[in-house]
Amino acid sequence: MEQTFIMIKPDGVQRGLIGEIISRFEKKGFYLKGMKLMNVERSFAEKHYADLATKPFFPGLVDYIVSGPVVAMVWEGKDVVLTGRKIIGATKPSDAAPGTIRGDLAVEVGRNIIHGSDSIESARKEIALWFPEGIADWQSSLHPWVYEA
């Protein structure tokens, strides 16, 4: 099944939103396959956001990601990359619909509390970058109650 990389950014951790965010993915019917609380080095944050290196906000974005611990996670499920982005909401919290994580819980684009992979290809790269040790191998016993097959 499809996997995505989700990261709770330092503001989400500091604001005590870890449980709330995990709960939204869990209740949806996605499976947590990897998780760790960690501080990241500047060079690592730059690698994660390498595609944005030329953007004017890049240095501020890296400062933000290294400002405290983040929660790195792998979630699995049907269409989890795209659906995960929908659960997260638009990049700018002011554009994010109510009911989404950013729409409900964030105000500023530079404090938008969560990252989610934007494609299956990015997810593959980000999971390899953040979880070189691999992820947990388990299957939920509730699977047939959430998925038709």
Residues that bind Mg ion (CB under 5 A): 118
The smaller minimum CB distance to ligand DAT, of residues 28 and 64, is found at 64
Q: Does 100 bind ligand DAT (CB under 6 A)?
A: no
Q: Which of these segments, 18-26, 40-48, 111-119, 134-142, binds ligand DAT (CB under 6 A)?
A: 111-119
Smallest separation, CB 8 to Mg ion (Å): 15
Q: Does 33 bind ligand DAT (CB under 6 A)?
A: no
Q: Tell whether the torsion through CA atoms of 136, 133, 22 and 117 is positive or negative.
A: negative
Residue position matching structure tokens 């269409």: 79
Q: Does 109 bind ligand DAT (CB under 6 A)?
A: yes
Using CA atoms, how far apart are residues 139 and 124, in angstroms rounded to an integer? 20
Q: Does 115 bind ligand DAT (CB under 6 A)?
A: yes
Tokens representing residue 129 in the block = 């970058």
Using CA atoms, how far apart are residues 21 and 26, in angstroms rounded to an integer? 9
Give the Å distances, CA to CA, from 77 to 23, 36, 94, 125. 15, 19, 28, 18
**Active site residues per annotation:** 115
Binding residues for ligand DAT, rule: CB under 6 A, are 52, 57, 61, 91, 109-110, 112, 115, 118
